[in-house]
Structure 1
Amino acid sequence: MFIRTESFSQYIRAYPFVTALIVINIFIYALTGMPFSWSKELYYQGFGINALVAEGEWWRLLTPMFLHIGVMHLLFNMFSLFIFGPELEKITGKARFITIYMLSGIFANIATYFFGGIETAHAGASGAIFGIFGAFGALIYYTKKALPQLRQIMLPIIILSVIMTFLQPGVNIIGHISGLIVGFIIGLSYFHPKRVVSWRKR
């Protein structure tokens, strides 16, 4: 289910939104990592800094989900998106997938602002990635025993991801858990049996 067997061109055609998000994140990381003053300024202007959000810089509730703190941070998030994003994009459709991803990331940043303290600074796509996990959690909830393979794969991944959130230092716990919850809530709406039936009738 989550083993990617497509060629590069097949992957791009089949999962354009996942591909676009990966490209955007890598491009922005490369851009902000250049040895120029404007690169550092671009990075600073997009970072999630609660104190500056409080002063009216509301774009910082969106931009942190496209910035990463180091190459390993970027690679971990993009690898998760590369593996788990395509199946969700295929199941929900492109518009629903990008809605889950973006709203999970944005609300993770909003929750970090309201509950993280004025001194909090953060960046990363993890809130949106956890939103994908949350959406799969909703699908597991509805399908129960109908999709045992999905349950066997995703449930341990979700549980382990939550556990690691609390064990690893420097992790935005509020962002991770908020993204997971938002993805789950949106998934409950999208995967409701009555709504799924309406998809199939179109």
Structure 2
Amino acid sequence: MRPNIVTEAGLPTRVGQWWDGIPFLTSSVVVACGIIYLVCLLVGYDSFFEICFSPSAVLSQFQVYRIYTSIFFHGSLLHVLFNMMALVPLGSELERITGSVRLLYMIILLATSNAIFHLLIALVVAHNPFHPYLFLMNECSIGFSGILFSMIVIETSLSGVQSRSVFGLFNVPTKWYPWILLVVFQLLMTNVSLLGHLCGILSGFAYTYGLFNFLMPGTSFYSSIEASSWLSSCIRRPKFILCTGGNSAGYIPTHSSQNTTSSGLLSGNIWRNWSSWMPRRESFAQSTQDNQRFPGRGRTLGVVQSQTVSADNSDSNLQARLLDNSSPNHSLDVAATGTGQRLSDGRRQAADNPAALVPARHQGSVASEEEIQKLVSMGFERTQVEVALAAADGDLNVAVEILMSQQG
């Protein structure tokens, strides 16, 4: 008997499965940032002065495009890798909850609010009457980390957990988690924009506490975008998540967006509240398609079938396989010849009436336990021994020949 061989998936397969599990918008941002970094690396572009977020350039020359171009550029390989590795779990979780289009709107909103906070703080610091500090006005910031800090605040504030681990080293209270990360990054890394990360945290808290709710459109807005023809090619992709939730306000739950009489958001039941409007995919059509592609005998756990019928069908199928695979060229003695005639008759009977196989098993001679154990001791499986003995009407020699023909 050939043993069952189980092989583990290789690295390319695992990477492909991991990538297929990342939703559409999150994977698109990762690809866009990666391609932009590679192009800049190949052409030798490393100044980023034309695309970075600079408060002085935005205010004096009204270069508003810098708010959005700066988030897709990164200064080093470590910079882009670290940001994208943080984006994959955060963005995937939020996209599965909100939908792809709603997450895109959230990213645009967070990028805009980060820039507004950045401009306000830079202006206040630069024009304070005590000690003007103009460095922040001329700071050139790039990277997706500002939005990542906003996502961290949103996720930690609404997850319901009481503590978070900082790089697996120590745990901190959830409300302090983004601030601890801000301090750790500032101390361990060089050339890090403290104001950019700080504004990301402020935007995250503003979003979490519902200060941006008046800017959030309803679900009809997202539905109209998803129904547009120019987005149809993206919607057809399997990783695209539709905004099919039941939240009529069009935004994810915040501390002030839900009914104040309910304390679910603050008591750790946030995931149950989100699950009521979490985007769901239709499984009936997919199940039908899978059944057409794999027309096997598999069934779900909820299907109730008779165990006796299943066992009898399995035995009859195994018996039929044993009979059909019998070698016609095998030399038999006189008794085996007579038995072969009986097997042929049984095969014709099974063809005329398949259900007669199982009753025929009980009509023949019943094999004794001693005969079964004798054949099992020869290396055959007990199930095959019982079926072979039933097919041979209890004739031990014929059963051995049937089993040997299977081995051959």
TM-score (norm: length of structure 1): 0.75
Question: Is 1:177 the equivalent of 2:198?
Answer: yes
* CA shift for structure 1 position 105: 2.7
**For the residues of structure 1 that align with 2:78 and 2:110, how far apart are their CA atoms?**
22
What pairs with 1:1-202 in structure 2 (closer than 5 Å)?
A: 8-9=16-17, 11-12=19-20, 14-35=22-43, 39=45, 43-54=48-59, 55-116=61-122, 117-140=136-159, 143=160, 151-153=163-165, 155=174, 157-167=177-187, 168-189=189-210, 190-192=252-254, 193-194=258-259, 196=274, 199=277
Indicate the RMSD between aligned Cα atoms, in angstroms. 3.1
Residue pair 1:136, 1:184 contacting (<8 A) in 2 also: no
**For the residues of structure 1 that align with 2:177 and 2:33, how far apart are their CA atoms?**
23
Deviations 1:130-158 (A, max 9, x none): 11101113314xx4xxx56xx54583753
**For the residues of structure 2 that align with 1:201 and 1:63, how far apart are their CA atoms?**
30
Cα distance change on mapping 1:49 and 1:8 into 2, 3 Å: same
**For the residues of structure 2 that align with 1:103 and 1:50, how far apart are their CA atoms?**
18
Q: Which amino acid aligns with 1:158?
A: P
Q: As a proportion of its length, which structure holds more helix?
A: 1
* Percent identity of equivalent pairs: 21
SS of the equivalent of 1:199 reads: coil
Q: Which amino acid aligns with 1:137?
A: T
Residue pair 2:23, 2:92 contacting (<8 A) in 1 also: yes
Residue pair 1:101, 1:129 contacting (<8 A) in 2 also: no
**For the residues of structure 2 that align with 1:173 and 1:32, how far apart are their CA atoms?**
24
In structure 2, runs of 5+ residues without a counterpart are 1-13, 123-135, 167-173, 211-251, 260-272, 281-408
Cα distance change on mapping 1:179 and 1:134 into 2, 3 Å: same
Query: Whose RCO is larger (CA < 8 A, sep 6+)?
Result: 1
Q: Which amino acid aligns with 1:51?
A: S
Which structure is larger by alpha-carbon Rg, 1 or 2? 2
Cα distance change on mapping 1:89 and 1:187 into 2, 3 Å: farther
- Number of residues of Structure 1 aligned to a counterpart in Structure 2: 187
In structure 1, runs of 5+ residues without a counterpart are 1-5
TM-score (norm: length of structure 2): 0.40
